Amino acid sequence: MQRTELRSEVEINAPIAHVYGVLTDFARYPEWNPFLTSLSGTLEAGQKLALEMSLPEGQTYLLKPLLTRVTENAELRWRGSFLFPVLLEAEHFFLLSERQASVTRVVQGQNFSGLLLRFAGNSLTLAARGSVYLNQALKKRAESR
């Protein structure tokens, strides 16, 4: 089965707890997040989220992924699929680590797999660009408060 991984990272001049707080304040995503423009749901593993993903120069997708991991100040992860996981499955995650006092490293990733992946083409390029935009916006938001 075909697989593709996207990764982007950013260093933010803010304490890890603050960055995690910005990242998990779903209600405020429309104020700052250009890629995940709307996100709602309970911050608890096993819960369904309602997510609006806007690809740069592309279309907007309404998704309902399952929150699979929530580790305070360390990790946020969800997984969703198109019809059936064998057709297309996507996992999105954020890993946070403290580089030094008040400097947080955020690794954002997306893992894709499934039979329909070969037809994704430009959408994967746009998703990668969207992740970079999200990282830049997260950095600006966290450092401005």
Residue 145 above 80 pLDDT?
A: no
What would the pLDDT profile of 105-138 be if each residue is shown by its tens digit? 999 999 998 888 777 778 888 889 999 999 999 9
More confident residue, 139 or 101: 139
Instruction: Report the domain count for the chain.
Output: 1
Residue 91: which domain range? Answer: 3-143
Has this prediction a pTM greater than 0.75?
yes
* Residue in the structure block whose two tokens are 């660009």: 129
Q: What is the mean pLDDT of residues 66-77?
A: 97
Residue 33: which CATH number?
A: 3.30.530.20
Contact call for residues 94 and 68 (beta carbons, < 8 A): no
